[in-house]
Structure 1
Amino acid sequence: MKWGPIAMDRIVMYDGESVLFSYKDKRTNRKETHLMSVEAFIGALIRHIPDRHFKTIRRYGIYSRRIKTLMKQVMAVYQKAVRRRLVELKQVMRVKSWTEKTVEVFGYDPLKCSDCGEFFEFMGTSVAKNGRLKVQYAKDRQARHYMLEVNQNIAKEAYQTKYKQAEAAAYDRCRFSWERQRRIYLSEMPQA
């Protein structure tokens, strides 16, 4: 035997006539102590010692020496199949990029030019913060510079559009209207 049936640190007390030892009760899952006479304790210990010339079976089933090589081959095939399934599972569970999601949902690649068929290169993203476009991510310094220029142009175009709309609204308010003048003139005339 490699180890005895009870560890020395579990024996709490021995006075020559009785032995007090601790154990873990599997039913209550608590540590408990038990008091036995020396003869009963030794009888419980030697129960684990096999008889002289007693043959013990150490390896059986898939660990048997007779089928050890066959079981190695079976396990290699099994592990290869499991590995293949894990690779397939990883591909299914992999987080898809936004281009893959767009192709899946809408049926077209957002990075492919609709006119010439060439592919765009992703250089970064801009987000709107406090009503202005800010560069959130840029691939490199040149991309950041270009994105800042584009953001400024977009802001300039938006400003010009708002300015033209405000100008048109002000012009509509101040424009001479014969109908409005007639209503003002008629309201000032005394009613007969």
Structure 2
Amino acid sequence: MISLRFFLSLVFSICCTDVVYALNLSSPSLHEVLLPVPNTLADKILGARLSVSGATAAVSALTDNTRASGSVYIYDAEESWRLTTELNSPLSTDNFGQAIVLENNTLIVSADRDGEDAGAVYVFERNSLSSPEPWQQTAKISPPDGIAGDRFGGAIALAGDTLYIGAPLHTQGKLYIFKRNPESRQWLYIDSVIPDDPQALK
């Protein structure tokens, strides 16, 4: 098993193909691994977003068109870095992959242009490696008061069973807090935060 203290993504063009490198800084000598490039990459830019947990890395690929849906690729380093899963949105114009966060067996992917830019966030959970689908979508989260143009999912953060989702264009911006029920695995809206003094942000 490869023990990673740090995962660095470098994205640049070589023969019209984007490249992502994994650097293992825990080994005596710096070890560089070229991650396999997905065949389905097409015009997407691999490495636009990156999140790592343990020996698993989630890497998103976006296009220059911010309305187009991106993809999220999962790499596993148990033996060597290999591409195990490709995740896509059922929609084509939601900017899927705008933000991603991976923590243990939970992957959060935002699509901040879903529903006329109201935004949405997808939750995926890991199945066993022997499963035909190693990652399964278990939820799609929308804001309780979202409207077109809010861009819910512009930023996301996960801490255990608590999920923080930013909607930067909701008036002067808004932070939503959701909590996962450990038994039902459902995500429940808990609270939201808005600026105390919206005028101070102008």
Same fold (TM over 0.5): no
Higher helix share: 1
Q: Which TM bucket (shorter chain)? A: under 0.3
TM-score of the two chains, using structure 1 as the length reference: 0.19
Higher strand share: 2
TM-score of the two chains, using structure 2 as the length reference: 0.18
Higher relative contact order (CA 8 A, sep 6+): 2
